[in-house]
Structure 1
Amino acid sequence: MKKLYIPLLLLLVAPSLWSQYRTVEERRDTVVAFWKQQGDYGKYYASAIALSLDTAQRARGFRMIEEMTSVTSPDIIERFRMTATFLRLHDILPDTLKKKFHFIWTHFPVRPFYGEHEKVAYYTALYLATRYFPEDMRYFNGRSRMENEQDARAYLLRWIKESTELGQREFDSPTYASIFLSAMVLLRDFAVDNDMSRRADLMAQWLMADFAHDHLNGTYCGAHARENMRSAMNPNSADMTGISWLYFADGPIAFGRDQLFVALSDFRVHPAIVELATNRRSPFETWERKRSARRIRATNGPDEDVVRYTYMDPLYAMGSIPGGLIQPREQHSWDVTWIARDPQTPATLFVMQPYSDAPSVTPFLAHESELALRNVNSLDPYFSTVTKTVGGSPFEDVFQYKNTLIALYDVGEVARFPLIAGFFPKDFQALDVDSLVTGWITMDVGDVYLAVYPFKKYRLAEGMVGKRFMSAEKRNGVIVQVMGRNEAGSYKQFKQRIHATIPDLSAYDSDLRMSYTSITGHTLQFTFGGERTVDGETPGMQDGMLFDSPWLSSRRGSGILTLTASKGTMIIDMSALEIRSEQ
């Protein structure tokens, strides 16, 4: 039996049924059937759409919409999904239901938005509402149809231009990339303006190419500007896993609400992008230039530019950004992820500093510090807890070279949680702690071996979905090494090689400087907030590049993304508004 992981429940399907899902259309029908079934367990707009498209259950779908629109939420994503439902069912909705959608947009405001995905979702929904609602209709914000259309169009065009020329802010998010994608697909399908429709179509392809670049067996790998706690601990539970299965036919069979909205479209990912997502024959390095969340106060934090680095192997991926604070919440600065034998089992490892004092959010929010903190806590009840598994910190600095990563911590004066915390997998064939001699923790997780070297005293405790790592020393750090069985040989051989490597921490407590020669023979020298070299050279991204890898490249400011595939190159050109191929 083949297990299928979805965010809502676990299903079993016989291998003989796998052949039913060979095409996007067959997978689309499976997504629709799933959400139709979910109507028995709860009320979702995705279920309402699936039921309404079935003539035999249309009345039930309409009743579900009637019930869901009777209680209006100020949540922006709920408003976006409600509007997407209106558009997908526009031709069959009765006038009574259409008037309810109009009434909600007229009388009920949405709460202030903080995230980039919320702005894109809101302005997409607003733009399309102005094109499909009555021309003389007023909106909750007091602006006319034309004024709202102009506002929404201006924002969306600026966001597309900045994201493709300067880099996205909420970049590479396993949680929110599906919202960006579904917004662009909705614009592609329903924008009356041909220019907007074409730009949205190209932007959807661009987003999928960015995802494919960092994709491994259904998982969105590497560092993420934002990610929720659930998918940080179990990457296969992310919404983008469902998008992967739908368009790449890769990884576990997973289902999500935004997946249904895009599945109903005739949008198809370019074959070169599918190849990029699924061709994992040999390791490669990728560099990407992104941007931090918009800061509204002067700080001593990092620049707006964020350089993202990933080492992709056929069996695992290790990825990182240099640390620091680039988002007010849900930042995920680094991890190592591998292909799990059971998709329900967490297959990731990371360490972070659970910074949650008021200064962690005030650079990004307009409120006074304690009010800003209360507002964030109202949205994210785990934000101010030591058990959270996502979040950035100004007290973290990260340096990675291929399959070796060093994270340094110098925790300053904080009111809450002056420590570092991590997540280790619970499913392993072996876990060995050599705290008395070499200091290494080694793990055999199947086809991949892991090694972690904590600088200071620590403890490992059982958690709900994995092991929790805690170390209370403020001046701290970890080294992480990962290697596949195909390269390392036996687990015993891997342990012997790891135990033979001991980092030089003699200057760390005094100068925050250390050195380590990895099992592959490369010497990494790293100073917190300073020098970082490999064999005496300073690695880095090429100047002027937005994407830089063997398969994906783009010069900053060009709006042109070039993908190298087996049959030539595929080019997304946002200036010419075209996709072209070159042999």
Structure 2
Amino acid sequence: MPLFKALSLKLTIALGAVALIQPISAGQTSISSLSDEELIQQYRERAQYLLDQTVALTDPTDLSAGGMFHLAVNLHEGANLEWVKARLITANQPPAGAMFWMIPMVLFMQIAQDIENETGTPALTDDEKAFIRILWKSYFPYRGDTENHWIMYYVSQYLVAEMTPDGGPELWYNGKSSAENMAEAREYIEDWIKITTSYGQGEYDSPNYIEEYTRPMALLAGWAKDPVLRKKGKMMMDYVLLDYAVENINGLYGGAHSRVYPRFLVQPSLSAAASHGWLIFGQGDYLSSGGNMMIALSGYTPPSILLRIAHDRDNPYVHRELKRTRWRLRNAGPEAFDIGGMTTIPVYKYSYVHKDFILGSSQGGLLQPIQQQTWSLLWHEDKPSGISNTMFSVQSYSSPFEGTMYFSTDWDTVTDLISRSKVDYDLEDKLEGGSPYEQVAQHQAALIALYDIPEGTRFPLIHTYFSRDLKNRVEDSSGWIFSQGGPTYMAYRPLAPGVWKPVDWTDSLKKGLGGYFSATANPKSGFEALVGDSESYVSYDLKNGYIVQVASASDFESYESFQTAVKALPLEYSMKPTPSVTFTSLDGAVLTAEYGKLFSVDGKADDLAAWPLFDGPFAQAEPESESLEIIHDDERYLLDFKNARTETTHSSAK
């Protein structure tokens, strides 16, 4: 594969000169005025800037720091080569990280091979090549137990097997030949692509784990020798990034998510998705990541239609998606269906995307173990770094019922085992997680959540996150709680009494429990710094609920007029025998929700059986189609995975 330098103009950018390629924003040239070629050139400049920054921040005197991604970048750029070769050894004594070791090691190997192919001069000595081959023989990487683990594992295995196609079992940690490993890996990769494009991902729309999918797909797109897999790798990159583009606001991933860690819940600008937003779409703030290094080195170029969609918020829109849960091993439930001998249930996603905010949700329930975010609100910030521009709620469910649903461990030990890794799982003030007692429904900028929590539940409460960056909070005598985040007005109506508590009222995360992903004791980056004076509205009633109504400040003459309008909205609710609500939203729609029954708008109930795989102004796909039509203005970009082909067409009129 040609090196990235052959694909883009080599820039000489001094450290800190990011202003040369700032994201398009208010006051700058509109993206609509740029040609496709100009958009792609800007992307390539950002990619080269990332590589330049990585090299500039490398300390060639420190053999204890720098991972394989950093080594690959320096090798590619021809920089700090003595350090690269020495650090290759120290970083792998011993190797660790399983598939997280495999992915960047394969990248490093491919870069070295590219250099040798293009220059005729080996980038590594015979001894260094032998060192790497011994690692693949002596280190047995764990395949993992999640969707992202398996796709990283098998893509890595496939590409290494392609590099040694005639290799016998003596070359491999698992005692299989390269041909056997390649066949097994390809079967999984093809199956994963088919399932994803037919039923949706199980580990869907994760601001954290998006790069655990872009990493392996970028590897395939950049280096697979098989033309079909290479093509599908590029197509899946487009697919995953479209999935993000339609629910992003200035580079931040909105809506409902399968997995989010606490620090990224409260500050979305810290996530891997935000780093991709800067690189791919030119949005938000610069943030380096291994996934971005992988993409920049792979030569992957996003189609310009994705960049246009990510920036186009001229008109508010509803976007729906169909996903699925992680494979259920037990307690599958009546909604369960079978895919190739594995059991799952549908996830119905709904997002309302406005230039000032994104309100998005799923139906509630146990959709993903441990780290589910059932709904979220993000509001627009021009410079989101350091800002907690979000709102969400949690029913703090913790039970072996959930653990044994998704993990093979027994009932008596599963919660303890989960908590050893995801330490906040068994805390009453945790910030993420699903609940079987939660039911959420949404129509445009209005959301209703209802709860019917049985007696004896471990943590019988719900709590809603009110960020320190929400301003002008008003607790009105009507029962509504009003607040403002950036250009967005929010109204929250609890249906049962509650109390205000500090976020993390058990002090577990403040003390650094859970390390990097949960918190850190560092006062500048720890949990206290992330949440500050943010509060949680906590309610302990077993029959419970709330309404969220959101609006753009630009739609009202004043904050007071917004409050007046919301307080005038018809609302009827009852908590017995089960919670139910009838609410007329700001757009005049009559919303009816009753726990255990289908949500209806103006008397018409949701037709879940007809829920599309993708449905919005920018994306259309039906379940089991193995295809996706990406749309912007008069352009149509088709991803046809059955035939491994793409097609771009333009209609005669917009």
Quote how far apart the aligned CAs of 1:575 are: 2.2
* Aligned match of 1:494: 562
Tell which deviates more after alignment, 554-563 or 127-136.
Answer: 127-136
Counterpart for residue 198 of structure 1:
231
Superposed CA offset, 1:92-134 (max 9, x none): 2333333333223222223352211111011111111212247
SS at 1:261 equivalent: helix
In structure 1, the partner of 2:7 is: none
Matched, 1:213 2:246: yes
Q: 1:18 aligns with which of 10, 22, 29?
A: 22
For 2:84 and 2:499, locate their aligned partners in 1 and report how far apart those are by CA, in whole Å.
52
Q: Which moved more, 1:118-127 or 1:43-52?
A: 43-52
Q: Percent identity?
A: 25
Question: Is 1:157 equivalent to 2:190 in the alignment?
Answer: yes
CA distance in 1, matches of 2:423, 2:85: 34
Aligned pair 1:546/2:587, yes or no?
no
For 1:102 and 1:375, how far apart are their aligned partners in 2? 35
> How do 1:61-76 and structure 2 match up within 5 A?
61-76=84-99
TM-score, structure 2 as length reference: 0.83
Tell me, yes or no, if structure 1 residue 32 matches structure 2 residue 63.
no
Does the residue aligned with 1:575 lie in a helix, a strand or coil? coil
- Offset at residue 74 of structure 1 (A): 4.1
1:271: how far off? 1.3
Distance 1:116 1:428, change over 3 A: same
1:263 paired with 2:296, answer yes
Residue number in structure 2 paired with 1:5: none
1: CA distance, partners of 2:640 / 2:323: 19
RMSD between aligned residues: 2.3
1:513 counterpart (560, 563, 580): 580
Contact 1:421–1:471, Cα closer than 8 Å, also in 2? yes
Residue 474 in structure 1 maps to residue 542 in structure 2: yes
- Residues 348, 611 of structure 2: 8 Å contact kept: no
Conservation of the 8 A alpha-carbon contact between 1:69 and 1:101: no
> CA 1:80 to 1:369, structure 2 compared with 1: closer, same or farther past 3 Å?
farther
Contact 1:329 1:383 in 2 (8 A): yes
Tell me by how many angstroms 1:43 deviates: 2.6
CA distance in 1, matches of 2:442, 2:426: 28
Residue 307 of structure 1 is matched in structure 2 by: 348
Q: Could you say if the C-alpha distance between residues 184 and 112 of structure 1 is closer, same or farther in structure 2, counting changes exceeding 3 Å?
A: closer
Question: Given that residues 287 and 541 in structure 1 are in contact (C-alpha distance below 8 angstroms), is that contact kept between their aligned partners in structure 2?
Answer: no
Residue correspondence of structure 1 range 121-132 to structure 2 within 5 A = 121-132=152-163
Structure 1 segments of 4+ aligned residues over 4 angstroms from their partners: 11-17, 19-22
Task: Note if contact 2:322-2:611 (Cα within 8 Å) is conserved in structure 1.
Answer: no
CA contact (8 A) 1:35 1:46 kept: no
1:321 lines up with 2:389 in the alignment: no
Offset at residue 420 of structure 1 (A) = 1.1
Alpha-carbon displacement from aligned partner over 1:407-457 (angstroms, at most 9, x marks no partner): 1112225553221122222113311122xx211111112211111111222
The amino acid of 1:550's aligned partner reads P
1:511 alignment partner, SS class:
coil
Contact 1:108 1:140 in 2 (8 A): yes
Cα deviation digits, residues 256-313 of structure 1 (max 9, x gap) = 1111111112211111121111111011111111111111124336541111111111
C-alpha distance in 2, partners of 1:542/1:488? Answer: 38
- The answer to whether the aligner puts 1:330 opposite 2:340 as a matched pair is no
Aligned-partner residue type, residue 491 of structure 1: Y
1:445 is aligned to 2:489 = no
Q: Kindly state the Cα deviation for residue 393 of structure 1 after the two structures are TM-superposed.
A: 1.0
Residue of structure 1 in register with 2:167 after alignment: 135
Report the residue type matching 1:32 in the other structure. L
**TM-score between both structures, scaled by the size of structure 1:** 0.92
Tell me the CA shift for residue 13 of structure 1: 6.5
Once the two structures are superposed, what CA deviation does each residue of 1:162-204 show, in whole Å capped at 9, x if it has no partner?
1112211111111111121121110122212111111111111
Asked if 2 retains the 8 angstrom alpha-carbon contact of 1:80 and 1:122, the reply is yes
Offset of 1:319 from its aligned partner?
Answer: 0.6
Per the alignment, in what secondary structure is the counterpart of residue 576 of structure 2? Answer: helix
Cα distance in 2, alignment partners of residues 19 and 167 from structure 1: 31
The one-character-per-residue Cα deviations of 1:497-524 (angstroms, maximum 9, x if unpaired) are 122236322x323222222222332221
Q: Structure 2: any 5+ residue segments left out of the alignment?
A: 1-14, 25-38, 116-122, 337-344, 504-527
Deviation by residue 1:10-39 (Cα, 9 ceiling, x = unmatched) = x98685663899712211122113323443
Residue correspondences, number? 570
* Contact persistence 2:103–2:152 (CA under 8 A): yes
Report how far residue 472 of structure 1 moved: 1.9
Matched with 1:397 is 439
2: CA distance, partners of 1:422 / 1:105: 48
Partners in 1 of 2:86 and 2:602 — Cα distance?
Answer: 66
For the residues of structure 2 that align with 1:396 and 1:49, how far apart are their CA atoms? Answer: 46
Structure 1 spans left out of the alignment, 5+ residues: 1-10
CA contact (8 A) 1:73 1:79 kept: no
Distance in 2 (CA, whole Å) between partners of 1:298 and 1:383 is 19
Q: CA deviation at 1:232?
A: 1.6
